[in-house]
Chains A and B, each alone.
Chain A
Amino acid sequence: MSTFDKIPETKEEAFLEVLLRLADDRLIHGHRLSEWCGHGPELEEDLALANVALDMIGHAASLYSYAAQLEGKPDEDYYAYFRDDIDFKNIALVELPKGDFAFTILRQFLFSAFSFFNYRELIKTVKDEQFNGMLQKHFKEIKYHLRHSREWVLRLGDGTEESHRRIQEAIDEIWMYTGEFFHLDDIDKAAISFNLYTDTSAFKKEWESLVFGTFEEATLQKPDNDQYMFEGARSGRHTEYLGPLLAQMQFLRRSHPEAEWK
């Protein structure tokens, strides 16, 4: 837990945490994906990656805007542009640099697979109509992201020697950041008690069977599951990669906070 984290005592407080955690994951992930725009391996894939990035940033914007409404902040931009590194609640996986195409696709696949199960459960759990409506809309898009990235994992894994080597390296590099999908801290637990979040460990087996099944089909080796797992980004303990990302993302808005930018 970070020094500033407060265990939510009310449902409203817990709700805000849930919205921001979901939104921060999506914003940072979308930002990383958008870095591919103009640099994709083929034109068609440039378009595809930009579509996923747009979905991600769109999801974040709608979640932030609901949070702003609940908390009485001016708008969605407040959360994206006026918070510092230690206030961001995204998992570390999404802030890692974009790497090569194998790394980007693998991260997309792992995150989309997690989001798929997480949203599926959230839609069953969440009673709030507006929130549930958002989840259902995002869920459709997540299914496509999962399909797209899974198909690519198969092609890279069972493609050429080089593509196989690259995506295998990506698996080994990224694996320690997948622990945060299933680690529940006190904030998550409070949110679960208010029926606002789901016990992600409940679908860990399903996630693993989808992920490992895909690896097997792609002739890829399963990673070492007993290795050190990174933890803490949800409560502000990030990697060094988030700072420069935010510096770039926020600089113009923060340099001229009084100006109109919408």
Chain B
Amino acid sequence: MNQNTEWPLWEVFYQPGNGKPFEHAGSVHAPDAEMALQNGRDTYARRNEGISMWVVPTDQITASAPEDAGPFFDPANDKAYRHPQFYSVPRAVKKRN
């Protein structure tokens, strides 16, 4: 085994177009933030995929645990009143839209 010369891991997010939300593109290794941006650009924007980019050290990301899936997200399942389809609107208004 050689000595450890692995650069830290970064997660790359790009904005696919003006006004669009950022998406996760993938990860790259880089020694620091500037090179992470450049490596992100050279790896994930070779085909014009983005117009703007974020990079975050992977170990700085906190993710929900799989067992949280139930308590975190299921309660939102039965709250139909949060969705516009829950409400009825007079026909005449619908037609005008």
Contacts and interface: CB of A to CB of B under 8 A. Distances in A.
Nearest to A43: B29
B34 A151 contact: yes
A148 B46 CA distance: 15
Nearest to A46: B42
B42 A47 contact: yes
A18 interface: no
Contacts of B51: none
A260 interface: no
A226 interface: no
A44 B34 contact: no
A155 B30 CA distance: 12
Contacts of A43: 29
B58 interface: no
Contact of B46 (A44, A51, A147): A51
B94 to A, nearest CB: 49
A219 to B, nearest CB: 17
Nearest to B39: A44
In the complex, which of the residues A42, A44, A47 has the most CB atoms of chain B within 10 Å of its own CB atom? A44
Size range of the interface on A?
A: 10 to 19
Contacts of B34: 151
Nearest to B34: A151
Contacts of B39: 44-45, 47-48
B34 to A, nearest CB: 6
Interface in A142-172: 147-148, 151, 155
A122 B56 CA distance: 39
A47 B43 contact: yes
B69 to A, nearest CB: 33
B7 A42 contact: yes
Contact of A51 (B30, B31, B35, B42): B42
Contacts of B35: 44, 151, 155
A48 B31 contact: no
Interface in A1-59: 42-45, 47-48, 51
A122 B65 CA distance: 57
B52 interface: no
B14 to A, nearest CB: 15
A42 B42 contact: no
A148 B35 CA distance: 8
A98 to B, nearest CB: 19
Interface in B1-47: 7, 28-31, 34-35, 38-39, 42-43, 46
Interface of B: 7, 28-31, 34-35, 38-39, 42-43, 46
- Report, nearest first, the 5 A-B pairs whose CB atoms are least far apart: A44-B39, A48-B42, A47-B42, A51-B42, A44-B28
Given A44-B43, A47-B46, 18 more contacts: A42-B7, A42-B29, A43-B29, A44-B30, A44-B35, A44-B42, A45-B39, A47-B39, A47-B42, A47-B43, A48-B38, A48-B39, A48-B42, A51-B42, A147-B38, A151-B38, A155-B31, A155-B35
Interface of A: 42-45, 47-48, 51, 147-148, 151, 155
